[in-house]
């Protein structure tokens, strides 16, 4: 969900500049990489189909196939049409709520709050069982909402050193779907994940 405007305001620009002796080139390269990441992905497992996205949904997004026609490199620069801009805002910044049915403007100032009917309608139109997203702290590292049609997975334990939350990752292994939870390693060591974790060779 990073873009140049966001990372300049919320600290990443300063962090990179400080670590590279004031040189902003590396920050520009990071932004190029961020813009090359997909906005969403469809996962097809033997018994489930779901969308992975950082934030959530937009009222202008009809189904998942529409995401493929959006050029993420144009986001934030004023060259995307308003519909595509709204869709990307939703994919990157939206949050679910069980207290409403459809959509409202997000109090974050970007993206939307989307309700249970919005999630169910989108899953039906896109042929999905549920959507999986991040972007929002969960004390157990993951949580289901919207009648199990919306799953939040939050992988940063003890977020910002303040919340004492667990982190989690979702493991899709054949027909099973499970979660690995972990706590913060603190300042003295690295987090220990289970030795039996079925890491993909992609990460080798």
Q: Give the integer Cα–Cα distance in Å for 30 and 168.
A: 25
Through-space distance between the first and last CA atoms of the chain, rounded to whole angstroms = 25
Question: The tokens of 185 are what?
Answer: 């390693």
Q: Give the integer Cα–Cα distance in Å for 162 and 181.
A: 18
Residues 142-147: contacts with CB within 8 Å, 24+ apart? 142/168, 142/170, 142/179, 142/181, 145/96, 145/98, 145/116, 146/96, 146/98, 146/115, 146/116, 146/119, 146/120, 147/116, 147/120
8-state DSSP, 39: S
Residues labelled as active-site residues = 1
Render 56-75 in DSSP notation, one character per residue: ---TT---GGGGGG--GGGT
């Amino acid at each position: 969900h990073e873009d140049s405007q966001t990372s300049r305001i919320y600290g990443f620009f300063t962090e990179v500049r400080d670590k590279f002796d004031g040189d902003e080139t590396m920050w520009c390269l990071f932004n190029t990489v961020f813009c090359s990441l997909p906005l969403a992905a469809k996962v097809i497992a033997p018994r489930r189909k779901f969308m992975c996205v950082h934030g959530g949904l937009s009222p202008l997004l009809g189904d998942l196939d529409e995401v493929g026609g959006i050029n993420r490199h144009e986001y934030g620069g004023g060259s995307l049409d308003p519909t595509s801009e709204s869709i990307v805002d939703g994919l990157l910044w939206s949050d679910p709520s069980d207290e409403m049915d459809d959509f409202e403007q997000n109090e974050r100032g970007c993206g939307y709050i989307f309700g249970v009917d919005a999630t169910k309608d989108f899953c039906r139109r896109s042929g999905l069982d549920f959507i999986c997203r991040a972007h929002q702290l969960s004390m157990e590292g993951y949580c289901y909402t919207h009648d199990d049609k919306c799953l939040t997975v939050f992988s940063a334990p003890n977020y910002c050193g303040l919340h004492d939350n667990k982190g989690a990752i979702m493991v899709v292994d054949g027909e099973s779907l499970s979660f690995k939870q972990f706590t913060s390693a603190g300042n003295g060591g690295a987090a220990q994940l289970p030795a039996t974790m079925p890491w993909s060779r992609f990460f080798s």
